[in-house]
Chain A
């Protein structure tokens, strides 16, 4: 009998079928489709729509709002498997994972009805803006501020490195409001529709082979209706972390997929490339690092599934630590796998034809975003090990 219970170690039959089905869809499109879209400045919309039609984009969202009724575990599977075929959908990290989750957990009934069905079936997309030019990874220094003006909110600030703003119907903006009681600033989440007056976005050219572009945002007295505020004004921090943990898990899934894709290209190459008697994959100097890459990816995958499992089980605290560790481990494993894959192919690893070289920059993203690996190490130092803080 095959094992059919859901846990982080052994995936259920449904999850394995989901993996296989998403992988089959990804293979039909393949890396060539992805790189062609990037070269032509197009989005990978055909893949997005096909995945949407099959219900893969909204697997984590509640069934009553058109989602699959499953969890982050399933959504991470979708992203990882698409990535492993060379065509990841980056907006899965933000649209259903962060924005969908936050609205589903904390949004008003009206907000849920308004956004979730579209996010679930892929007809609408939502970007996520948190990073600021002067705050970097320090989310306590966020200066984008919302003030009340009668029945409306007025939002002002700057954001940087926000993915896919041009193709998103709205962006979920992390801002701060003044606590009426203490006067301290506390985080708040606002849905800002793309065409709102005062909301401007500027493309940041990046050396990443990705169809989704990066943007800088300028919010100058952006006037928002009262219901642009998601959920509870007083529970902003909790809500924010409810969205950031899925982001880390999905970033891990993104790194894992990319690492697996690169490793597979390298292994196929090492199997047939022959310059002396045996294929180069028979030489341990080539083979062992590939085996190590595989082990690292497998371990990081296990941690990612643990983080998703804890999150789906409702343990936000434990999920936070696990999601940070998973993001760290997967980013390192992914970057090392890409590095080793490029090296395995030698000169061919740097050609456009083999398409691995552009992954060298892309695989660094996981080390830097959504928080740098050093900030994760800091988190583990303070939170897990109980070491004193330096900042």
Chain B
């Protein structure tokens, strides 16, 4: 029986771009180019490695997002994933992490899975709780924030590095796993991978396909509401200390004045 891996990926605004909020205080996706969240690339990479080690595995990449989110799927497919699932629906605009996890849970069940892989957080919202909520919705074990992961004999094992200790974790499949940016650098798409990606199937689903009511998701269904957002203040010029014999003293005075020492 083939190992069914589903990787949840997010299409995010390029973090190097000038990001803004739209009038309804959701992320303005039109202003900046989007891409596959870098943190999700680690999950794709681990999925590929797990699939390589398994006798028989199939990797599905799953995303919830607007039309352009297909780019994120294509990137993952060009890295080597087998097929894509794209959940797209106008009613999804403004969905928060609770709603997104509902859509992902339904879609993961629709696809069929033994292992769900996620990144540690998205690079735009950076909530980081989605894998846990998703596991809860699916009613399966969650093994989160792994920096090392392996699958054998229906069991997932891995290492979670904390500040004080490293934990070895283990769970029976099916399970939800998230991996950190320490889990191993993601591969670049090979030329063959790029050319093959277009021929790989991408299934498009909307809310009705998944049996989800519009009022469970979107801005209206969100459990949280953004009341206000303000642009981060411009960085002000720093203080330059010119060392004319008193440099060390001036540095110390600056640090004291800022209560650093």
Contacts and interface: CB of A to CB of B under 8 A. Distances in A.
Nearest to B186: A24
Contacts of A70: 191, 195
A339 interface: no
* Interface range, B side: 10 to 19
B188 A17 contact: no
A74 B191 contact: yes
A13 B191 contact: no
Interface in B43-80: 67-68, 71, 74-75, 78
Contact of A54 (B67, B71, B188, B197): B188
Given A21-B194, A56-B191, 19 more contacts: A1-B67, A2-B71, A13-B74, A14-B195, A14-B198, A17-B74, A17-B78, A17-B189, A17-B194, A18-B191, A21-B189, A24-B188, A53-B190, A54-B188, A55-B190, A55-B192, A68-B191, A68-B195, A70-B191
A228 interface: no
Contacts of A59: 191
A173 to B, nearest CB: 30
Interface in A1-43: 1-2, 13-14, 17-18, 21, 24-25
Contacts of A17: 74-75, 78, 189, 194, 197
Nearest to A55: B191
22 contacts: A2-B68, A2-B71, A14-B195, A14-B197, A14-B198, A17-B74, A17-B75, A17-B78, A17-B189, A17-B197, A18-B191, A21-B188, A21-B194, A25-B188, A53-B190, A54-B188, A54-B191, A55-B190, A56-B191, A59-B191, A68-B191, A68-B192
A250 B191 CA distance: 18
Interface of A: 1-2, 13-14, 17-18, 21, 24-25, 53-56, 59, 68-70, 74
A47 B71 CA distance: 27
Contacts of A25: 188
Nearest to B75: A17
Contacts of A2: 68, 71
Contact of B194 (A1, A18, A24, A53): A18
Nearest to B195: A14
**Closest CB pairs A-B (n = 4):** A55-B191, A54-B190, A68-B191, A21-B189
Interface in B186-244: 188-192, 194-195, 197-198
A55 B78 CA distance: 13
- Kindly name the residue among B67, B78, B188, B194 whose own CB sees the greatest number of chain A CB atoms within 10 A: B194
Interface of B: 67-68, 71, 74-75, 78, 188-192, 194-195, 197-198
A337 B91 CA distance: 48
Contacts of B195: 14, 68-70
A69 B195 CA distance: 10
A387 B256 CA distance: 78
Contacts of A54: 188-191
A13 B199 CA distance: 12
A56 B188 CA distance: 11
Contacts of B194: 14, 17-18, 21
- Kindly name the residue among A1, A14, A68 whose own CB sees the greatest number of chain B CB atoms within 10 A: A14
B44 to A, nearest CB: 14
Contacts of B78: 17, 21
A70 B67 CA distance: 28
Nearest to B185: A28
A68 B190 CA distance: 10
Nearest to A68: B191
Contacts of B71: 2
Nearest to A63: B192
A21 B74 CA distance: 12
A21 B191 CA distance: 9
A21 B78 CA distance: 10
A65 to B, nearest CB: 14
A61 B183 CA distance: 35
A328 B67 CA distance: 41
A82 to B, nearest CB: 12
B55 to A, nearest CB: 24
B72 to A, nearest CB: 12
A162 B60 CA distance: 49
A68 B192 CA distance: 7
B173 to A, nearest CB: 31
Contacts of B197: 14, 17
Contacts of A14: 194-195, 197-198
Contacts of B188: 21, 24-25, 54
Nearest to B237: A274
Contacts of B190: 53-55
Contacts of A69: 195
A59 B191 CA distance: 7
Contacts of A68: 191-192, 195
B68 to A, nearest CB: 8
A84 B198 CA distance: 26
A53 B187 CA distance: 11
A172 to B, nearest CB: 24
A18 B197 CA distance: 12
A231 to B, nearest CB: 27
Contacts of A18: 191, 194
A262 to B, nearest CB: 20
